Structure 1
């Protein structure tokens, strides 16, 4: 691992260590901290339901079967991993570079009686501590966004997944070149949240292919995700601003809101589905 990658890993870990206690106790009752998904413009459900809907969508795409072993890269507080285990069965292993998230996610799995099937550990996605072909499916919900080298992460995923296994991930991308007048807002977001290099939708077929995977689906779901999520997060911050300021400080509260990104339509959201070819091609 390069020094730059080590620095990024450390910064991401520190960010989520800081967020873990606050998120668990105050910000999100279901311990989700990811974007939401609304199927149509007519859907009126709140952000909390939209977060669940995105998890449901990814489960549909994952096509995991009972008794499968699933790797959750960037497991957060453990909500998606627990959802996978309860919906599909089998075993789920979650990894994160936040020690605090490992501790809290493990406690949640234990409290739900899943300690034998759901586990969490500290690990870097660019250097997975698992044997080759040891998972049937891999899930990465808003975690590859932090990776300095997406190709290396995808290669590691291809190494640990079994032939025929599916990979489902989400990523931020540039739908169009970011105008100069919006660049400062995007750069601030990337710095505050330790976001890796920006990609375009056209980068993914090459990344997936060079990693040894086969692309199944590549969807721009920005319209179903971005604006309403950003507006929902801004409202959450406004509703709980005093608590956030007291817990994390006003600067962190401003960083959390992401409201400056609402008008940056050029920043999009990708859903990627790939698989390791079973026939060796």
Structure 2
């Protein structure tokens, strides 16, 4: 059984037009398919997880609870880069079901938190999953809200956000320089950006990845090169751009978890990410930067 989106093929046409700004493959995976419901992404989060903070011996068998904790801990790693976050306005670009937004509000005191996603189905799911945190109809602005919009056209005024974060979404962005410019625009002077996802290590690696990993071949993901991503942030006017590889806390434990779950271990292609990491094609990165 496939626990992550099956590779697209001739028998996999889109059902109706893709939402604006979304390739058909992205529209279907996050719409009809609803990636957040598959067992490989336990708990409704959609990320590979950051596994270094799990309790117990490093070689113990990993559980579903560990999988959920790893996904939450990836958000905690990102949000932990913000200095004195309590009471500061935050924007999550590519928020999915908004579970990371709720975590930012609950554990870090960021407020208000705005979740942005380009897929209308994800915005609907986020509003449903976090209904208790949303303002009442006609009421005053709440602590949490969700907006439909693209990363390269953020529907917020200039200088309206203190903290901007994005967790495992930028691999879908077709226009990363556009996102970088928008991030620089909406951040207040002194605001901070924190971005984490997987990127190709070199241009040669970017060319090789579609041969190994179907999401790059079928249009779900874009093999952005990490140095070029960092350069885009700098070119947009952000400063103090820092790149931290964190793959040693992602790929091997994620693959070990997959191997230990009977319903997941036969999903061969998702486990090629460890191969891509070990052969130097890609890694997982945490990028941070400051505005103005």
TM > 0.5 fold call: yes
In structure 1, which of residues 76, 79, 91 is the aligned counterpart of residue 96 of structure 2?
76
How many Å separate the matches in 1 of 2:206 and 2:90? 40
In structure 1, which of residues 38, 44, 61 is the aligned counterpart of residue 51 of structure 2?
38
Residues 197 and 183 (structure 1 numbering): CA distance in 2 closer, same or farther, change over 3 Å?
Answer: closer
Unaligned runs of 5+ in 1: 242-252
Q: Cα deviations across residues 153-179 of structure 1 (Å, max 9, x unaligned)? A: 010011011010110001322235439
The structure with more helix, counted as a fraction of residues: 1
Q: Judge conservation of contact 1:132–1:160 (CA < 8 Å) in 2.
A: yes
| Residue of structure 2 in register with 1:160 after alignment | 186
Residues 6 and 101 (structure 1 numbering): CA distance in 2 closer, same or farther, change over 3 Å?
Answer: closer
| Residue of structure 2 in register with 1:117 after alignment | 143
In structure 1, which of residues 254, 258, 266 is the aligned counterpart of residue 270 of structure 2?
258
Residues 120 and 191 (structure 1 numbering): CA distance in 2 closer, same or farther, change over 3 Å?
Answer: farther
| Residue of structure 1 in register with 2:5 after alignment | none
Residues 38 and 92 (structure 1 numbering): CA distance in 2 closer, same or farther, change over 3 Å?
Answer: same
Q: Judge conservation of contact 2:89–2:161 (CA < 8 Å) in 1.
A: yes
How many Å separate the matches in 2 of 1:181 and 1:130? 37
1:267-278 equivalences under 5 Å are 267-277=282-292
How many Å separate the matches in 1 of 2:39 and 2:72? 18
CA drift of 1:84 comes to 0.4
Residues 198 and 119 (structure 1 numbering): CA distance in 2 closer, same or farther, change over 3 Å?
Answer: same
| Residue of structure 2 in register with 1:224 after alignment | 249
How many Å separate the matches in 2 of 1:10 and 1:138? 27
Unaligned runs of 5+ in 2: 1-18, 136-141
Q: Judge conservation of contact 2:92–2:116 (CA < 8 Å) in 1.
A: yes
SS in 2 for 1:157: helix
Q: Judge conservation of contact 1:12–1:97 (CA < 8 Å) in 2.
A: no
How many Å separate the matches in 2 of 1:133 and 1:18? 35
Q: Cα deviations across residues 181-232 of structure 1 (Å, max 9, x unaligned)? A: 875113x2313461124203x3244212101101342101111112322443
Q: Cα deviations across residues 105-153 of structure 1 (Å, max 9, x unaligned)? A: 1112114x44421111211011111110111110111111111121110
How many Å separate the matches in 1 of 2:174 and 2:38? 31
Residues 233 and 105 (structure 1 numbering): CA distance in 2 closer, same or farther, change over 3 Å?
Answer: farther
CA drift of 1:28 comes to 4.6
Comparing 67-76 with 35-44, greater Cα deviation is found at 35-44
TM-score of the two chains, using structure 1 as the length reference: 0.79
Q: Cα deviations across residues 16-56 of structure 1 (Å, max 9, x unaligned)? A: 11343x63486655211101113389645632222122111
